[in-house]
Chain A
Amino acid sequence: MSAPSVVVLDYGTGNVHSAVKALELAGADVTLTADRKLAQEADGLLVPGVGAFSAVMSALRAVRGDEIIDRRLGGGRPVMGICVGMQVLFEHGVERGVDTEGLGEWPGAVTELPAEVLPHMGWNTIETGENSVLFNGVEDERFYFVHSYAAQSWTLDVMPPFPEPSLSWAEHGGRFLAAVENGPLSATQFHPEKSGDAGIRLLKNWLDSLRSA
């Protein structure tokens, strides 16, 4: 069985080096690029994201990442967002009073966590969703988070024949979405590429799902 091909979308955000190396270790054939054709055709597209919601959205639009993601999802082709790469999948984000439109793949807003100490930085436990594929074998592990904002509710009603999304939650000041698995679209608020062996396993689980997608 050949290695699944994954494009890590290169649009100038944060440390993407680790995401590339972690995916390679998990068994993927990885290309770091913003090339539309390659991003469209890969078995999986990984969208990293670090920094401010508005900055990530502008950078994403600058490489037409919004269209790439839309088109892939329209064809049922897997996409995974990490950290702010997860946050921008929602309708909008509110940071320091600035309300920015997101990609709108999921309804709802990304808002500041109601915690005394922010950023939420470090290794936290996760209440994993039913039927999760990503957390298979690592349900009880801690994962590495670093963020101040998150989606704190889920309002998408999924009608049959579409399967119910698998929602995983974590807590810091309040409950928030740690991961969502919704058909071809998955996302984690934490950084699997910085979560040691557990993170590599989670990425491997995603790669395995690409083979059957």
Chain B
Amino acid sequence: MKFRVDRDAFADAVTWTARALPARPAVPVLAGMRLEVADTASDTLRLSGFDYEVSAQASVDVHAEEAGSVLVPGRLLAEIVRTLPPHPVEFHVEGSRALLTCGNARFTLLTLPLEDYPTLPAMPRTIGSAPADVFATAVRQVLPSTSRDDTLPMLTGVHLTFRGDTILLAATDRYRIAVREMWWKPEEVDIDTSALVPARTLGDFSRSLTGGNVDIALSTSDSRGAGEGMIGFEHDGKRTTTRLIDSDFVSYESRFPTEFAAQADVPVAPLAEAVKRVALVADRSTPVRLSFTSSEVVLEAGSGDDAQALEALEVNFEGEPMRIAFNPQYFLDGLTNVETERAFLRFVAPTRPAVITGTPAKEGGKPDFRYLVMPLRLA
């Protein structure tokens, strides 16, 4: 195997693929990255990494002189390309050694047994595509609400519902629920299916998204056949597949209250900053208290002998005056992920969940992003 490649393109592909490599490989070969030039005519190098759950595959255009494939230590390759000087990279394999030359820098890598390397799962059937930047934003919005506690696998995932031309992304960790609705272009207009995707993989993938479209491929256990229970994303020559979390998701829609006793129309950035300031005196578990009256909200934190903070902010408020307390981080995770300049806060009672939404694009429309958060009990 022998090829020449542009340094930046190569570095980008290697770094991206290396992220899928396990830090503690179950078997040593999984720490390897597979490089493959299928044939010299297509001039494409395919890089892949796999840890039995998640697979990553990137392609990059190269000038191929000799086809072949090789397995090299992945982290090492990633470390090497990060520091390469700005010159074209030459890569070729001689026996059990891979030689990498770039300008004056030369590296020799010992190859790993390629025949032991597990076969990567096949990409499932594409079910549609979504605008990459919107998808990345949507993932970012719901991601903070996923749980990092592995004892309940269901809560560590983001639930994707594909229904007609909308995707619903939802996540919860029992204390809050984040739901985002977005438009996409399905292959079949009457599609109605869902998938529970591990949050970490989805987050990693969406961070690398830039412009263009992301193709979504899914096979769930009801569509019998190869590669059951798997979702794949493809964007810009990079594709990731991951096993789905095999569990039902909570039916979150019914948890959102439909009738509210009060509603506040607040400016997002000023309120978020005020909460952050006031929360400085509150440690993780103590609440920030919000008292709404008709024209303003008073934020307070700390009490008794501890440090205290207080700040008032002008808001539009309708309904009964409301005194309600939140975990500051949970509150901020909702508020700061609203995309519009102003947000609506809706309340039922101080002991009932509150809902944060953006202002809908058109009057009376449905907001894209909804965030339900449980209040803390006031002392």
A and B found bound together: no
Instruction: Spell out A's residues near B (CB within 8 Å).
Output: none
Instruction: Spell out B's residues near A (CB within 8 Å).
Output: none
